[in-house]
């Protein structure tokens, strides 16, 4: 048992969030994480990928009863919610969605949120357990009107104190503070969790804060709590679980990668962190040449850099499904170097929470305070 402002706000057993990880489905991972007592998040960034990435879309369809007959991705999304409610019924798991709201994805984000409002009208149980969304990668203030009267709890991912200030102004219920060591999407001006998390906690003592980026075990969760967080979100750690729908080679690569195992390069929606392989190293070299803003901290746009850089990401992801390791591109966070196994989400959550309590109790003994 570990009670924090986050567990109280969301009604979850443990102060732990399984991160949204697109563009793939995390439908099954979400249900397994929610059943284990964490908050499970459904990823939505690939839900409209039918034309550009059929393999990614296929996974949404395969894990969702009735999806093959659905007419639109929005209908599939509603079915995903109904299926998640069923999958988490016994344990009364709490779940939500990660929805990216960057400019190029905002139109889709609005449609997804409208669909969510409709689905939540269907039952008290859906409102009670499918209770929140975590937005990311865009201006939260543009979402305020849509979200503040929606009845859902709302978290937003922020990479700086400035962004946190804007999210608080937008009216979020909690902040997800994202350090640059995290997997995949990162900020133009990167700050590490060690500096950013306490800075945001100090600036907003009355707001519930979740740390993310670099957390993968009980010691790191305990450190996050000591830094002032009310809970922790993990991406790369949950990716390497049996319940995650990502390709097996991806999970194995997380476990395999060691010291100095990640690299930054331009991704579709901005800078991104990849597991270091010849493919991601090539992408980094292209980024230096054609999209240097990733390293100089000056944002470029999708139209100001060559399309081949943007397409490389989708091609690399598709190769993970085709089983071609020489072309596969894997995203992941720095903490991959500390991940050594692929457990079930249930075993992982139990283990991490036991370790967290041990680590917190051990502090007093170890340092004789
Ligand atoms: C494979 C992968 C895919 C991700 N996709 C998304 C996404 O679609 N939306 C988002 O907001 N964050 C995304 N993230 C970031 C995670 O939500 C989370 O913030 C990050 O993984 C935390 O750092 P960690 O990997 O060190 O735990 C992704 C991360 C990974 C590893």
Side-chain half-sphere of 78: how many Cα atoms within 13 Å? 16
Q: Is 19 in the pocket of ligand 1 (CB under 6 A)?
A: yes
- pLDDT at res. 227: 98
* Ligand 1 atom with least separation from CA of 246: 1
User: What's the gap between Cα 350 and its chain centre?
Assistant: 20
- HEC string of the chain? CCCCHHHHHHCCCCCEEECCCCCCCCHHHHHHHHHCCCEEEEECCCCCCCCCCHHHHHHHHHCCCCHHHCCCHHHHHHHHHHHHHHHCCCCCCCEEEEEECCHHHHHHHHHHHHHHHHHHCCCHHHHHHEEEEEEECCCHHHHHHHHHCCCCEEEEEECCHHHHHHHHHHCCCEEEEECCCCCEECCCCCCCHHHHHHHHHHHCCCCEEEEECCCCCHHHHHHHHHCCCCEEEECHHHHCCCCCCCCHHHHHHHHHCCCCCEEEEEECCEEEEEECCHHHHHHHHHHHHHCCHHHHCCCCCCCCCCHHHHHHHHHHHHHHHHCCCCCCCCECCHHHHHCCCCCCHHHHHHHHHHHHHHHHHHHHHHHCC
Distance 54 CA to ligand 1 centre (A): 21
pLDDT at 45: 86
Please write the tens of the pLDDT for every residue from 340-365: 999 999 999 999 999 999 999 999 88
| pLDDT, tens digit, 9 for 90 and up, residues 89-101 | 999 999 999 999 9
Task: Flag whether pLDDT at 253 surpasses 80.
Answer: yes
Q: In the numeric block, which tokens belong to residue 101? A: 């709201």
Q: What is the pLDDT of residue 142?
A: 96
Residue 55 has pLDDT above 80, yes or no: no
Ligand 1 atom nearest residue 44's Cα: 8
Ligand 1, closest atom to CA 334?
26
Indicate the range of 55-59, 190-194, 228-232, 286-290 predicted with least confidence. Answer: 55-59
Question: Residue 86 above 80 pLDDT?
Answer: yes
Distance 253 CA to ligand 1 centre (A): 16
Whether 127 has a pLDDT exceeding 90, the answer reads yes
Q: Is 184 in the pocket of ligand 1 (CB under 6 A)?
A: yes
Q: How far is the CA of 299 from the centre of ligand 1 (A)?
A: 20
Is the CB of 98 within 6 Å of ligand 1?
Answer: yes
- Atom in ligand 1 nearest the alpha carbon of residue 250: 1
How high does pLDDT run on average in the chain? 94
Pocket test for ligand 1, best of 44, 47, 185 (most atoms within 8 A of CB): 185
Q: What average pLDDT score do residues 161-190 get?
A: 97
Q: CA-CA distances (angstroms) from residue 180 to 94, 107, 333, 336?
A: 27, 27, 9, 14
Substitution site in 16, 17, 20 for ligand 1 pocket (most atoms within 8 Å of beta carbon): 20
User: What pTM did the predictor assign?
Assistant: 0.97
Q: Is the CB of 182 under 6 A from ligand 1?
A: yes
Structural contact between residues 127 and 150, judged by C-beta atoms closer than 8 angstroms: no
Domain boundaries for CATH 3.20.20.70 within the chain: 11-246+340-367
* Atom number, ligand 1, closest to the C-alpha of residue 157: 11
The CATH superfamily holding the domain 11-246+340-367 is Aldolase class I (3.20.20.70)
- Lowest-confidence region among 55-59, 84-88, 89-93, 195-199: 55-59
> What token pair was written down for 314?
């989708």
- Residue 60: what pLDDT? 79
């Amino acid at each position: 048992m570990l009670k924090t402002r986050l567990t109280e706000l969301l009604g979850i057993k443990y102060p732990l969030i399984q991160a949204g990880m697109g563009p793939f489905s995390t439908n099954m991972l979400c249900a397994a994480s929610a059943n284990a007592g964490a908050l499970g998040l459904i990823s939505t960034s690939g839900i409209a990928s039918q034309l550009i990435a059929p393999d990614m879309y296929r996974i949404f369809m395969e894990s969702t009863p009735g999806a093959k007959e659905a007419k639109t991705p929005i209908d599939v999304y509603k079915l995903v919610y109904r299926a998640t409610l069923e999958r988490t019924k016994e344990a009364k798991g709490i779940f939500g969605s990660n929805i990216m709201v960057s400019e190029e994805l905002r139109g889709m984000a609005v449609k997804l949120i409208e669909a969510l409002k409709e689905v939540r009208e269907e039952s008290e149980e859906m409102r009670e357990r499918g209770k929140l969304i975590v937005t990311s990668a865009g201006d939260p203030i543009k979402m305020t009107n849509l979200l503040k009267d929606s009845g859902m709890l709302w978290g937003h991912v922020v990479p700086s104190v400035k962004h946190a200030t804007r999210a608080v102004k937008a009216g979020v219920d909690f902040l997800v503070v994202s350090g640059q060591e995290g997997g995949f999407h990162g900020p133009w001006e990167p700050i590490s969790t060690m500096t950013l998390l306490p800075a945001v906690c100090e600036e907003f003592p009355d707001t519930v804060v979740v740390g993310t980026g670099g957390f993968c075990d009980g010691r790191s969760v305990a450190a996050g709590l000591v830094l002032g967080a009310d809970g922790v979100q993990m991406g790369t750690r949950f990716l390497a679980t049996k319940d995650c729908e990502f390709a097996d080679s991806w999970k194995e690569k997380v476990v395999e990668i060691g010291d100095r195992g990640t690299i930054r390069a331009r991704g579709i929606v901005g800078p991104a962190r990849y597991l270091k392989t010849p493919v991601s190293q090539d992408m980094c070299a292209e980024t230096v040449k054609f999209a240097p803003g990733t390293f100089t901290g000056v944002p470029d746009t999708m139209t100001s850099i060559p399309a081949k850089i943007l397409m490389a990401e989708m091609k690399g992801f598709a190769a993970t499904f085709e089983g071609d390791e020489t072309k596969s591109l894997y995203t992941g966070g720095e903490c991959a170097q500390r991940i050594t196994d692929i457990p079930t989400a249930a075993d992982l959550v139990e283990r991490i929470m036991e370790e967290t309590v041990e680590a917190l109790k051990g502090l007093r003994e170890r340092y004789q305070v």
